[in-house]
Structure 1
Amino acid sequence: MSAWPEVTTAKSENRHEIKLAGAAISKRITEGGLDKGIFQLTNINLLNISDTCLTAIPDEISQLVNLQSLLLYGNKITDFNENITSLKKLKVLDLSRNLLKNIPGSINEMKELTNINLSSNEIEEMPKFTDFPNLLTIDMSNNKLTSFLDLENAVMPHLTDLKIKSNSIEVLPSCIIRSLPSLKNFDISDNRLKSVPGEIANMGKLKEINLKGNKFTDKRFMKLVDQCRTKQVMDYIRDHCPKTDQAQPTGKSKGKKGKREEPTAEDQECDLCHSMKILHVEDDILRVKIVESQVAGVRPFILCCIVNDLSFDETSFKKFIQMQTKLHDTICDKRNIATIATHDLEKIAPGDLVYTAKAPSALKLTPLSRVKPYSGEQLFQQLTAEAEALRKEKKRNVYSGIHKYLYLLEGKPLYPCLEDASGKVISFPPITNSEDTKMSQNSKSMLVEVTSHTSLGACKTVMNKLLQECLLLGIGPELEPGSIYHTLIVQQVKVVDPEGNLKNVYPSRTDCVYEATNIKVVRSNKK
């Protein structure tokens, strides 16, 4: 069998990433099997073989000793090859949408893992977990689990996102409060839970919990879960769900009738701290209408908010741009988890925005730092050509700048976009936003947009961090002349479906909750 061209190119140019996906790759696998030359590319740190007919992971996978991301989603793989566990540098493991039934206990040896995605398989039971010091996310959705993950002897100190929806789990153990101290987003919807342990209410960092679609015997609780937000659900758990352990509640003491005391105005106001003021949503400003049928398979999650009364100078504006770049490389995981876009609100046509997806040839915008409009297809081709020319000119093995994100849309039949009320595209995530709404040093109001293909929780984590950084940069009005403390004025924005039904609002009362003692968040109905 002759070598595959992608493998030959990767070897000759010493590339660090290789992606093999789609029908053409499936045909090659069917006719002659996977090119084993892949496993001689020992310098690669990302291997993506996705949406093919691949049924097994070759033993030679262990030769890729520098691999950090292994993406094998959307195949026909039936067995988890234990040689994967010898990849000591591996951080991201995605085996979603396969036919796996069992996961070996040796997965516990992979201490560098930050992301595990085993969703949409046929897994009936997971091994006992031990400690994962670096793990951030686990997705076990759409499997055949009948019991929750065994975390009795595990500690995952940094895990923030756990998805285990659409299984057949009947009992939620109380040990998760001890094993997952940093959990922020927890989705255990569409299972068979009949009750929830009261200890869950003591998970102080939990911002979003989805319990919908379970079989709770407490009908009031079931109704609450279907209709209310996380705060109301957690309050009910605290007051009505029995504890299975003897853990004592933390936080503020309760007042009469078991109700928690709300912070007073004096508690919220602080002269010796930074202040974030969150204004209640106003429908007459703008809403974002999400066309879920279009974006579902591309980039289904979006959050927006408005930041008012901005005050930039040359230095702070430069730092503001640098901060976004840093967040894209860190908390956004090089835009793999989420993408940030900021717009000058005064440059956006008044009215509601629409978040949808279009065919590459139908999407048109003037990209940042460009003078003429492009279709999505033209822009992708132009950026690809520029990237290759620049890479060769600089004699690099990888792309740089915006060009390194092109692979995120490669082969997609639809491209996500955000349109203003006039139908003009102002954002094309995760690639770029429009030159027409570009922020400048003179901008006074800003629309902030965060999109993700992974989860709404990821959007919230990124948006919370972005607003915190904006506050600390001091790009809002000062509290008083010469003060070292800053203020930031944030306006809530709703995301609704085309019929106007609420999908989310940001920031909600569970958002923008910071551990830093020098930041106070004040929520108000008006300026």
Structure 2
Amino acid sequence: MNSSTDIWSEVDQVKKEKRHELVLSGAEISKKIKTCGLDNNIFSLDNLNFLNINQTCLKIVPDEIGMLENLTTLVLHSNAISTLPKTISNLKKLKVLDCSRNALDSLPQELSLLPQLTTINFGSNLLTELPCQLQNTKLISVDLSNNKFQTFPDVCYAELIHLMEINLKGNEIKELPSSISVLLSLKHLNLSDNCITVVPGELAYCQKLKELDLKGNNLTDKRLYKLVDQCKTKQVLDYVRQHCPTTTINSSNDGKGTKKGKRTQKNSESDATKQIIDNLTHKLRILRTTDSTPVIKILDPVKSIRPHIVACVVRNLTFNEDNFKTFIRLQTKLHEGICEKRNLATLATHDLDLIPPGDLTYTAIPPKQLKLKPLGRNKLYTAANLFEQLKTEADNLRREKKRNVYSGIHKYLYLIEGKPQFPCLLDSSNQVISLPPITNSDITKMSVNTKNMFVEVTNGTSQQTCRHIMDTFLKELVTLGIGLPQCNDSEEQTLFYDLQIEQVKVVDVEGNLKHVYPSRNDFNIEDKSVTVIRD
């Protein structure tokens, strides 16, 4: 601070004219501060209620700032200030404090003792926390944008009944507290460009919230992510109210958090919002069978061996090199997991366009009579010869690798060993296209060029198990992005896909319907990111 008795001309003019405002800005003021510090005569201006020092090299705010007890507005933006003095608590009439665009990395606790404070702006500093604002009950606006906050600032108190605006854009905040619901006057909340992954349902309890910005966060709920990017605040809050988790019960918000309140919220959601939410999901679109859809006929020989089969057709697939590899890995994952290493069930996929038109037959044939061209092999085998070939390969591989167990397809051979008949699926020309639980035919091999797929799941104990595994496979298929991309008006890559699933009927030897998949009892999916649409 300048200890000289020389008074700056700007300060002298305010003193002589008994003005209430002083503005010090620009290169000339910066030069004076650099030469001899801030003029201490400023702090003798008892009538001053507006002080603005901006765009200077000021680094330190003197303790004497506390002498300006009539200040109502203190603007110190665009300087080089690194700390504020504790004496700021003496400014009991202060309403507006703007210290944006400085180098502040902390704030004095005394900042919480300004009873008339309505507006604080500490945007574009280096702050990581804000002193508790519980006692600053007249607070209306808080701007802490572009700082280093990792947690939400300490402003969530019911006592802050006037707080209308919070700007936290460009921080590192990871979590939005459920206690935000107590800010009943909140109208504007900017949380863009942070690190938030989950939005609490309590946010919807802020009934006056008109502008909400959550863009630039890594939200795990992809429908919410899309809504935030494309829709208005009301639609986002409708979704938050309906679908985001809550951790508290807010009894002061007209029944919200109670069963009655939830019914009221649901009934009040607009049709337009529902439509938007529905659009921002993956779709499992169930299509009825057509004249060209294959029908599976079950013959008696298979009933005592592996009697259960469900199947469907998946239309309009869009494979590329990457997602086709994902598709193959998915089948392996399901066989090892939900199919219990094929002991429980086996899932097989075929390129439908490589299956001759007509109906299919599910039966069982003695292994010496059953002939097929196995997947990945270029000649025809009997099932008996194939079994022996695979067993020899497995033994050789085990010795070569010095292992005690089989790997790959070889580890499933025991499932059919010694059986008098092997289950199989025949096409309309009686070619074997599937030998569960071991292999498919190379004739119907899936590829990156496949557009339409025939899927079958077989099992020896329960049709319901087959249905459950098929449900799981198709749901995971669409969430992995292997369906038809949904239309997207923006230039961004779509996040949602449409899987078109055509029903397949299974009939007995006389042509009587046994079952159809998918039926209305299938796809009871709790995952809200997937919507089932029935034709």
> Structure 1 length normalisation: TM-score?
0.48
Larger radius of gyration: 2
Bigger relative CO (Cα 8 Å, ≥ 6 apart): 1
